[in-house]
Amino acid sequence: MTKRRQMRFTIIRSLVAILIALLVATILIFISAAGATFQDKLEATREALKQMLAGPLFRFSKKSGTAFEAKRLADILAAMIPTIFTGLSVCVMFSANQFNLGAEGGIMLGAFITAMAAIYMPLFAGLHPLVAVLLGGAVVAVVMLLPALLKTKLNVSEMVCSLMLNYIIMYVIKFLMNTYLADKSRGQIMSYAFRETANIPPIINNSVFSGAKLTWGFVIAILAVILCGLFMYRSRWGYAIRMIGINQDFAKYSGMKVGGVIVLSQLLGGFLAGAGGGIEMLGRYTNFSWSALPGYGWTGITIAILAGNNPYMVPLAAFFMAYLSKGCDLMATYAKVPAQLIDIVQGVIFLFFAAEQFLSGYRQKLVVKSAQEEIEMAKAQKEGI
Amino acid sequence: MLNFLKILATPEFFFSIIRISAPILFATLAAIVVEKAGFANIGLEGLMMFSALSGSLVSYYAGSWFWGFLAALATGVLMSLLMGFFAFKLKTDIILVGIAVNMMGSGGTLFLCKVITNLTEGKAMASTTGLITKSLCIPDITIPLVNKIPFLGAVLSGHNLLTYLAFLFVLLTSIMLYKTSLGLNIRAVGENANAASSVGVSVLRIKYIAMAFSGLMSGFGGAFMSMAYAQGWSQDMVSGRGFIALAAQAMGGGECLGGMLSALVFGFAQALGIKFSAVGLDSNLASPIPYAVTIIGLVVFAVVRNNRIKKQHSAAALAKSAEK
């Protein structure tokens, strides 16, 4: 199949998957919409859909009409910061066919360690956030050694192990916060404030950027995407990771150190998740108050699936998820549809993107068409001679 | 310390181990059967969440626990068949199907709960606990005669109907796997799908049956969670039991009896955690105990298994050299 046809197929397939998910969403919204008559419900559904699909960029009001809202776009971009990191983390780990689901715990632990470094380590501005974030990433990378080594040495399922680690990380952090680290003068369980030197500032200091917390973290996230892409597609190690994911036995027989590469991929995955948590913490908050797993790890898995484990596609997928999530939030506020609709939509899109045989009939047609064209061309060439 | 041991040596403690093990046991049986058929269903967690919700809601609206119970089972089976459709027909990686179901099971159930009941108390939290009364839960059963035995009676009698069913299913599943042609087919498909197919076994059908069985067990587990363990459904109430079951399956060597023992170990760990927090340990330190035990258990099991394989290999090598 030609490259252009391949591309066209991928795009059409993605669009159909999204359309199906939106259809499911529409049905669910219709069921949950307020209204006594069919007509009322239809009207409410239309309103909710409008908020969900266009709301993230436009504000609708009766007085001034529809207007573009820069703040909401900035919100979406800011919301991409942690999920780009978890998306990259999952990409790297899943590329080696290792279903490590520890990005969820990893981002919480990274955020926690970075927060502690931001509170208790006296350093000067500029260096402080760098050290704190690197520390957060490094600690999570070390923790990810546990599932990785258990898998390679003892063949213990990395999936179960990493899932259990998520719970353990959450409870241990809660314990440490409650018992030792909480600022007792506050009503809620939260840490002392970060040192000012640790703050990651907004890219531009105006109301839109600082209100949305669109910080330099976003730039770092994009840099991470590029580095990750270069690593996966332009380095020996990245090649090894992808080969092991495609065919582990083949990689082994061609002399790759499979165990070492698997450990490396999860070290890197852990580092990315941890650093992402740290950057989110220093950019968005002034003290640590997370008391539950933040959910970014699961979104990261969806993003990795949407991106087909390709780091370069992660920002696009992250933007899509952030857009959808913002839309669902707005819908919950203005149309009284519970915001958790996002989880169902996310699940449906996820399923159809991961389904290899979805629209396989259409692909078959394209392949046949390409083959026929090639034969015709060959024939024409022969006759020409 | 001695005092603490005294607390543990009570019938209530052993009673709670059995009670806590029951939902894990259901999910473990689900994991065992699909593993025998050659794949993994990691969506047990999500399936249990959906079953728990539908059981609780239907029992409320129908006014009878029985219909709720049936609804929970039906939900589990239907959803697992849908998972099977994605995995076998659309060739989605079965692990990813599981992840998707778990994702929907966490937030999606809350969405459905809010939409169906119109309960939106608080911003994020909603549960059906306010709707469910004791009579809408699956009843406890007192076994006559047994309950008269000192100590043992208090441990074994008075459990929920489903708790007894869970342990009964260990036996039934074992019989199904090893004494029926269906079980033989399931194991054959798991062992070597091509060989099974060559002697006329419909691999796809067997895989769907195994999947439906795991859905049925998740249905039992979910019903237990919302209609016996707790009164009513609340968000993330399954809290990792579906995942722990995957570990119990591995630790039990993929067999029913072993799986049951592993489930009991996790039940013990959790019951111990509850007791610990009762005597003053921070609950945030007691709660992760079952999860930590899971990892430790997996490691111990793996070490034992590897040693056994090594021994077998060296024994075989010795036998070979002796022959020469």
Note whether A194 and A286 are within 8 A (CB): yes
Tell me the sheet residues that pair with B229: none
Note whether A356 and B90 are within 8 A (CB): yes
- Phi/psi at A83 (5° precision): -75, -25
Report yes or no: A345 at the B interface, CB cutoff 8 Å. no
Tokens matching residue A36: 């006594």
**Residue of A157, A168, A342 lying closest to B107 (CB–CB):** A342
Contacts with B111 from chain A: Cβ below 8 Å: 28, 338, 340-341, 343-344
Residue A295 has pLDDT above 90, yes or no: no
Residue B118, classed as helix, strand or coil, is coil
Rounded to a whole number, what is the distance in Å from the CA of B188 to chain A's nearest CA?
Answer: 23
Note whether A283 and A215 are within 8 A (CB): yes
Rounded to a whole number, what is the distance in Å from the CA of B40 to chain A's nearest CA?
Answer: 11
Contacts with B93 from chain A: Cβ below 8 Å: 354, 356
Which tops the pLDDT comparison, A169 or A364? A169
Note whether A141 and A267 are within 8 A (CB): yes
Tell me the sheet residues that pair with A66: A60
The predicted model gives B163-172 an average pLDDT of 93
Residue B229 domain boundaries = 2-323
What lies within 8 Å, CB to CB, of B33 at 6+ separation is B173, B177, B186, B210, B213, B214, B217
- Phi/psi at B166 (5° precision): -60, -45
- Phi/psi at A254 (5° precision): -90, 10
Per-residue confidence (pLDDT) for residue B123, from 0 to 100: 47
Per the document, the length of chain B is: 324
- CB neighbourhood size of B38 (10 A): 19
Query: Between the ranges A57-66, A73-82, A122-131, where is the mean pLDDT highest?
Result: A73-82
What DSSP string describes B3-50? HHHHHHTSHHHHHHHHHHHHHHHHHHHHHHHHHHTT---TTHHHHHHH
- CB neighbourhood size of B272 (10 A): 18
**A336 Rama class: left (phi>0) / alpha (psi -120 to 50) / beta:** left
Rounded to a whole number, what is the distance in Å from the CA of A59 to chain B's nearest CA?
Answer: 23
Contacts with B304 from chain A: Cβ below 8 Å: none
Query: Between the ranges A43-52, A177-186, B17-26, where is the mean pLDDT highest?
Result: B17-26
Q: Which helix (H) or strand (E) holds A67?
A: strand A65-68
* Spatial distance between the Cα atoms of B269 and A167, rounded to a whole number of angstroms: 15
A373 confidence band (pLDDT: 50, 70, 90): confident
Rounded to a whole number, what is the distance in Å from the CA of B103 to chain A's nearest CA?
Answer: 6
Q: Do A354 and B97 touch (CB under 8 A)?
A: yes
Contacts with A343 from chain B: Cβ below 8 Å: 103-104, 106-108, 110-111
- Domain locations in chain A? 3-68+357-384, 73-309
Q: Do A343 and B243 touch (CB under 8 A)?
A: no
Q: Do B90 and A356 touch (CB under 8 A)?
A: yes
The pTM of this model reads: 0.89
**Residue of A146, A150, A298 lying closest to B103 (CB–CB):** A298
**Residue of B92, B295, B299 lying closest to A355 (CB–CB):** B92
Note whether A261 and A244 are within 8 A (CB): yes
Report yes or no: B89 at the A interface, CB cutoff 8 Å. yes
Q: Is the dihedral of CA A93, A97, A98, A101 positive or negative?
A: positive
Rounded to a whole number, what is the distance in Å from the CA of B279 to chain A's nearest CA?
Answer: 17
Report yes or no: A159 at the B interface, CB cutoff 8 Å. yes
Which of B3, B16, B38, B21 is CA-nearest to residue B203? B38
Tell me the sheet residues that pair with A215: A202
Structure-token match 């600690």, residue found: A139
Which tops the pLDDT comparison, A261 or A5? A261
Q: Do B107 and A351 touch (CB under 8 A)?
A: no
The predicted model gives B209-223 an average pLDDT of 95
- CB neighbourhood size of B204 (10 A): 14
Angle of helix A70-95 versus helix A258-284 axis, rounded to 10: 160
Q: Do A161 and B110 touch (CB under 8 A)?
A: no
Per-residue confidence (pLDDT) for residue A268, from 0 to 100: 95
CATH number at residue B298: 1.10.3470
Per-residue confidence (pLDDT) for residue B211, from 0 to 100: 95
- CB neighbourhood size of B246 (10 A): 27
* Spatial distance between the Cα atoms of A311 and B289, rounded to a whole number of angstroms: 36
**Residue of A167, A172, A347 lying closest to B104 (CB–CB):** A347
Structure-token match 């998520």, residue found: A166
Report yes or no: B246 at the A interface, CB cutoff 8 Å. yes
Q: In chain B, how many domains are there?
A: 1
* Spatial distance between the Cα atoms of A265 and A94, rounded to a whole number of angstroms: 9
- CB neighbourhood size of B216 (10 A): 23
Report yes or no: B192 at the A interface, CB cutoff 8 Å. no
The predicted model gives A141-151 an average pLDDT of 94
Which tops the pLDDT comparison, A83 or B155? A83
Note whether A335 and A51 are within 8 A (CB): yes
Residue B146 has pLDDT above 90, yes or no: no
The predicted model gives A18-34 an average pLDDT of 86
What lies within 8 Å, CB to CB, of B89 at 6+ separation is A357
- Phi/psi at A65 (5° precision): 75, -160
- Phi/psi at A66 (5° precision): -90, 130
Note whether A174 and A291 are within 8 A (CB): yes
Residue B122 has pLDDT above 60, yes or no: no
Report yes or no: B230 at the A interface, CB cutoff 8 Å. no
Query: Between the ranges A81-90, A213-222, B154-163, where is the mean pLDDT highest?
Result: A81-90
* Spatial distance between the Cα atoms of B155 and B175, rounded to a whole number of angstroms: 26
Note whether A169 and A108 are within 8 A (CB): yes
Per-residue confidence (pLDDT) for residue A385, from 0 to 100: 65
Residue A108, classed as helix, strand or coil, is helix
pLDDT tens digits for range B31-88 = 999 999 988 898 999 999 999 999 999 998 888 889 999 999 999 999 999 999 999 9
Report the share of chain A in percent with pLDDT over 70: 99
Report yes or no: B129 at the A interface, CB cutoff 8 Å. no
Per the document, the length of chain A is: 385
Q: Do B111 and A341 touch (CB under 8 A)?
A: yes
Report yes or no: B103 at the A interface, CB cutoff 8 Å. yes
Tell me the sheet residues that pair with A60: A66
Helices (H), chain A: 3-32, 38-54, 70-95, 103-120, 127-154, 158-176, 207-212, 216-234, 236-246, 248-253, 258-284, 296-306, 314-335, 341-354, 360-384
Contacts with A298 from chain B: Cβ below 8 Å: 99, 103, 106
Q: Do B100 and A342 touch (CB under 8 A)?
A: no
* Spatial distance between the Cα atoms of B33 and B30, rounded to a whole number of angstroms: 6
pLDDT tens digits for range B260-293 = 999 999 899 888 888 888 777 778 888 888 889 8
Tell me the sheet residues that pair with A61: A65
Which of B34, B36, B32, B116 is CA-nearest to residue B83? B34
Which tops the pLDDT comparison, A357 or B97? B97
Structure-token match 């939409």, residue found: B115
Per-residue confidence (pLDDT) for residue A93, from 0 to 100: 94
* Spatial distance between the Cα atoms of A224 and A203, rounded to a whole number of angstroms: 17
Q: Which of A22-26, A67-71, B99-103, B145-149 has the lowest mean pLDDT?
A: B145-149
